[in-house]
Amino acid sequence: MLLDGKPLPQTRYGLMRKDVAEVFGIPAAVASGWAVEADLSGWARRCYEMTLSLIRTDARHWQSRPVGNICLTSLLYFEKAEISVMLGACRT
């Protein structure tokens, strides 16, 4: 995951997403989920453009178009913020 082009190295990929595999009819897509737990205490409290990036098994690099914005608000009681975004699968 990248916020304004800056990678968050704590991104985990390969989480189970049975719903994605079912919607797209691709059994291998079951392991397409991802999650981030990052220390954002030093980040400015504003909105950041979110993109996704990954390295394929054949070593080729892929990066998404912007998939949304993450807006950090004032964290009064927390030193760490957890970003959890679920992108719903849809068929067009």
Judge whether 39 lies within some domain.
Answer: yes
Judge whether 90 lies within some domain.
Answer: no
Judge whether 62 lies within some domain.
Answer: yes
Beta strands 68-71; 47-51: pairing state: antiparallel
**Looking at the whole model, is its pTM more than 0.75?**
no
Judge whether 27 lies within some domain.
Answer: yes
Domain boundaries, position 42:
2-83
Judge whether 92 lies within some domain.
Answer: no
The pLDDT tens digits along the chain (92 residues) read 889 999 887 788 889 999 989 999 999 889 988 888 888 878 888 889 988 887 777 888 888 888 888 888 765 444 444 444 444 333 33
Please give the tally of structural domains in the chain: 1
pLDDT score recorded for residue 4 = 93
Judge whether 89 lies within some domain.
Answer: no
